[in-house]
């Protein structure tokens, strides 16, 4: 075994895959090679969107951490980086590897002029919570919410009203039965950019193009959707499969953005998108979808709560890098 004090922090590279998979297996009890292969490849292909570091020397590999850049999720305006994964070889535990990894990742992040580091952890993961507290993280201003994919979303006829599941003499209609919903396609991107500008009065082209590329090219399973009215895109939801970020042990889906064209308000577009998303994810045997929003996104939170979301056992943490 190498002298851990002489091991250096360096970028994670493709040749590190076997070591990363083995460290993860030590902690999860199973191999997630496909997930890490996709993640490392995506980071190497898009270096401006990911930060990945390792602690190693020529003879030994001790630890790794990965993070992704954030620049517009649910209307956020402050660029940030999300610490997604951190792993230390059991042979090197108790040697300060976690602190060294975090310092290396922060150094790279500062070089990108990012001043905010975010992460999430389950409130029952006491070891991780202790590490985050000792590393200067505090409870963030974001709220983590989640929803089972097994519960149906019924057609309420109006995104603003409570759902009515008690219509006498009629079988309840699913929300996506009224508004057609299909998979996101590359040809939709310009229409989605226009919808987002009408919603936010901002140009978030870079962010949305990045999320669309992630949905179309990087994900092994496509789950992002577009709703149509009269053959034209009327809304969209950007979602992705998560096979292990933030210490999750089971596959889940993460919803990054949902938007309805204001010209098609009160037509059930939002509920139709969520209804179809839940049905698709359930068919893929994904039981849970999660999202993280600013606590000040009152209207969006209210809508998602009406659609069955509830607070998650996961907590959001923030560390200022000023």
pLDDT in tens, 239-279: 887 655 545 556 688 898 899 999 998 899 999 999 999 99
User: How many helices (DSSP H) and strands (DSSP E) are in the chain?
Assistant: 8, 14
Q: d(Cα 229, Cα 300) in Å, to the nearest integer?
A: 22
Calculate the dihedral angle through the C-alpha atoms of 157, 161, 166, 172, rounding to the nearest 10 degrees. 30
Cα 193 to Cα 60, 184, 201, 207, distances in angstroms: 46, 13, 11, 10
Q: Map tokens 């250096």 to a residue.
A: 8
List, for residues 57-104, the tens digit of each pLDDT value.
988 999 999 998 886 665 556 778 899 889 999 999 999 999 999 999
Contact indicator for 49, 69 with CB cutoff of 8 Å: yes
Residue 270's nearest CA partner among 176, 166, 168 is 176
Residues of the chain with pLDDT under 50: 158-173, 246
Instruction: Give the helix ranges, DSSP H, for 201-247.
Output: 205-213
Q: d(Cα 205, Cα 207) in Å, to the nearest integer?
A: 5
Q: What is the pTM of this model?
A: 0.80
Specify the pLDDT at position 288.
92
Ramachandran angles phi, psi of 298, nearest 5°: -60, -45
Helix (H, G, I), strand (E, B) or coil at 194: helix
Structural domains of the chain, ranges and CATH numbers in brackets:
4-114 (3.40.630.30), 144-312 (3.40.630.30)
What percentage of the chain carries pLDDT values higher than 90?
52
Ramachandran angles phi, psi of 126, nearest 5°: -65, -35
């Amino acid at each position: 075994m190498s002298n851990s004090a002489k091991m250096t922090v360096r970028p994670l590279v493709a040749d590190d895959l076997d070591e990363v998979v083995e460290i993860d297996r030590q902690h999860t009890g199973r191999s997630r090679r496909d997930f890490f292969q996709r993640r490392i490849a995506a980071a190497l292909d898009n270096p401006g969107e990911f930060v990945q570091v390792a602690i190693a020397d020529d003879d030994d590999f001790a630890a790794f951490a990965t993070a992704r850049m954030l620049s517009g999720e649910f209307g956020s305006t402050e660029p940030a980086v999300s610490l997604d994964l951190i792993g230390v070889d059991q042979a090197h535990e108790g040697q300060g590897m976690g602190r060294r990894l975090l310092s290396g990742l922060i150094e790279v992040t500062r070089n990108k002029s990012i001043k905010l580091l975010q992460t999430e952890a389950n409130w029952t993961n006491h070891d991780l919570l202790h590490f985050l507290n000792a590393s200067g993280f505090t409870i963030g201003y974001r709220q983590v919410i989640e929803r089972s994919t097994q519960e149906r979303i019924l057609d309420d006829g109006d995104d603003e009203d409570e759902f009515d599941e008690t219509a006498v003499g009629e079988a309840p209609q699913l929300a996506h039965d009224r508004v057609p919903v299909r998979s996101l396609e590359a040809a939709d991107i310009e229409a989605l950019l226009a919808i987002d500008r009408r919603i936010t009065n901002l140009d978030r082209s870079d962010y949305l193009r990045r999320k669309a590329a992630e949905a179309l090219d990087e994900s092994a399973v496509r789950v992002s959707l577009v709703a149509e009215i009269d053959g034209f895109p009327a809304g969209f939801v950007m979602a992705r499969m998560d096979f292990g970020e933030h210490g999750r042990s089971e596959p889940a889906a993460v919803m990054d953005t949902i938007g309805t064209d204001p010209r098609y308000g009160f037509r059930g577009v939002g509920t139709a998108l969520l209804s179809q998303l839940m049905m698709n994810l359930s068919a893929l045997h994904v039981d849970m979808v999660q999202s993280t929003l600013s606590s000040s996104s009152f209207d969006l939170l209210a809508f998602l709560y009406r659609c069955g979301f509830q607070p998650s056992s996961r907590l959001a943490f923030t560390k200022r890098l000023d």
